[in-house]
Amino acid sequence: MNRSNLVGLNSTHSTHSTHSTHSTHSTHSNRSNSSNCSAARVVGVLALTTCALLGAASGRAVAWCPEARPVILPVCDTPPMPVVPAEARAVDLVICLDTSGSMDGLIDAARQRIWSLVNDLAVASPRPELRVAVISFGHSTYTEAEGWTRVILPLTGDLDEVSEKLFGLTTDGGTEYVGRAIHVATTALEWSAEAGAMKLIVVAGNEEADQDTTVTYQQACAAAIAKGIMVNTIYCGGADDAVAPGWRDVARLADGEYAAIDQHRNSVPATPHDEALATLSAALNETYVAYGTAGRAREENQSRQDANAMAASPSAAAERANVKAGAMYRAASWDLVDAVLGAEEGARVNLADLKAEELPEALRGKTAAEQRTYLETKQRERAEIQRRIGEEHAKRVAYLEAARAAEGGAGDFGGALRDAVRRQAAKKGFRWEK
């Protein structure tokens, strides 16, 4: 992407947030350096609305606009100084998906709607520190010894990796052990030990919940709730189906939420803003400065997941763009802009400590001052693009809110997941402004 085709991307009158221009709780928000920029003054406040969209359990497309965030625009090119991040609280979410032969619709829904969920969490208070894990169960290539269940991805804050694993899932007929999926999620992952952490398992499938006689769902739920882990179930079928009560019982036993959905109902209308958001998302990628071999691989994966989201639907790509512009999209482990200039605790890197071969070509042969100037320029470019994404996303949500039509029938995976997480987050003290 040639940023010169995008008007205003190099504006010096940009916000100085490395990762969010629309969240006052962002770990990446910054304030002006008053000591180096004593002449600076505030010239404006731009209220951006960050909204999360997920289909409601009623089948309607429902939009939320929880809160407007102020963005301070300083008249100064001096690099920003990081602020101490606002209080955050750990949120661990494990998504267990039935990958037997009949569940292609469910997998597609998970791939598309994960970004909407992240956008919804991004505007919660206190600020969630989200990690996601993916577990697959019911695939015929797994073994009986492992209960036809496998950890695809352990808990991680790398949302690009979550997307990569979701798009790597395939379906194939098999035996679906709900109890084993819950048991593996409870025992095989490193859950947060933080006091007050929200720990959730979401299990989605369409067969009987009581097929596992080695680890019954009653045993698995008891073990989960004993560790403070709530279990939610999403049954892909009619609420009146004969097997639905078993899924409802799983949620009841582990203080969870239950929903019955149509796994194939997952459409969000395209909007006039989707193309602009995709363009801005690509431009945002140009502000990342990867370092080391692993960093370059992560940079390439960022672009691959953009392509995956676009292939899934324009809506998924638009939601992903807004996630990338927010605080939950963390890149300090591979991006020098965040690692050197960002405020994420424990993630800072000293450029002098990096070997020449670990540096990107753009920084090799430059003095320390020149290297820092280069990163500061990228940081300002990023902040401006993030601001524009926030504006465009708000317009998109308003469009969808105005255009949605009332529909009956079952809800979808995105709505069921969003509703379950919100209700359980409320029990843990999280809140969304109405």
Q: Which of the residue ranges 80-84, 179-183, 194-198, 328-332 would you say has the lowest mean pLDDT?
A: 80-84
- Mean pLDDT (the chain) is 80
Q: Which of 428, 326, 266, 400 minimizes the C-alpha distance to 119?
A: 326
Task: Encode burial over 39-59: b for 16+ CB neighbours within 10 A, e otherwise.
Answer: eeeeeeebebbbbbbbbbbeb
Question: Which residues, other chains included, contact 337 with Cβ-Cβ below 8 Å and sequence gap of 6+?
Answer: 18, 287, 288, 289, 331, 375, 378, 379, 382
Phi first, then psi: give them for residue 232, nearest 5 degrees: -110, 145
pTM for this entry: 0.75
Average pLDDT over residues 82-109: 81
Q: Is the pLDDT of residue 76 over 60?
A: no
pLDDT at residue number 414: 74
Phi first, then psi: give them for residue 96, nearest 5 degrees: -105, 115
pLDDT in tens, 326-368: 989 989 999 999 999 986 655 578 898 999 999 999 999 999 9
pLDDT tier, 266 (very low <50, low <70, confident <90, very high otherwise): low
Helix or strand or coil: residue 14?
coil
**Quick one: what percent of the chain has pLDDT higher than 70?**
76
Structure-block tokens of residue 345: 């605790």
pLDDT at residue number 418: 81
Q: 254 with 225: CB under 8 angstroms?
A: yes
Q: Which of the residue ranges 212-216, 275-279, 380-384, 407-411 would you say has the lowest mean pLDDT?
A: 407-411
Q: Give me the residue label for tokens 């949500």.
A: 397
Q: Which of 218, 361, 364, 366 minimizes the C-alpha distance to 296?
A: 361
Distance of alpha carbon 89 from alpha carbon 416, whole angstroms? 23
Q: What angle, 0 to 180 degrees and rounded to 10, lies between the N-to-C axes of helices 104-122 and 314-324?
A: 30
Q: Is the pLDDT of residue 70 over 90?
A: no
pLDDT at residue number 403: 72
CATH of domain 88-268+418-427: 3.40.50.410
Chain-centre distance for alpha carbon 170: 21
Please give the residue that has the higher pLDDT: either 325 or 269.
Answer: 325
pLDDT in tens, 31-53: 334 333 333 333 333 333 333 33
Give me the half-sphere count of Cα atoms (radius 13 Å) on the Cβ side of residue 34: 4
pLDDT at residue number 405: 53
Amino acid at 71: V
Q: Which of the residue ranges 112-116, 153-157, 263-267 would you say has the lowest mean pLDDT?
A: 263-267
**Quick one: what percent of the chain has pLDDT higher than 90?**
55
Q: Is the pLDDT of residue 182 over 80?
A: yes
Helix or strand or coil: residue 102?
coil
Distance of alpha carbon 342 from alpha carbon 425, whole angstroms? 28
Average pLDDT over residues 296-318: 95
pLDDT at residue number 32: 38
Summarize the chain as % helix, strand, coil (round to 5): 40, 20, 40
pLDDT tier, 390 (very low <50, low <70, confident <90, very high otherwise): very high
Q: Where are the alpha helices (DSSP H) in 147-243?
A: 159-168, 178-187, 217-226
pLDDT tier, 245 (very low <50, low <70, confident <90, very high otherwise): very high
- Vertex 428: Cα angle to 427 and 432 (nearest 5): 80
pLDDT at residue number 397: 86
Average pLDDT over residues 179-198: 96
Q: Is the pLDDT of residue 25 over 50?
A: no
Distance of alpha carbon 82 from alpha carbon 343, whole angstroms? 5
Q: Is the pLDDT of residue 218 over 90?
A: yes
* Structural domain spans, the chain: 88-268+418-427
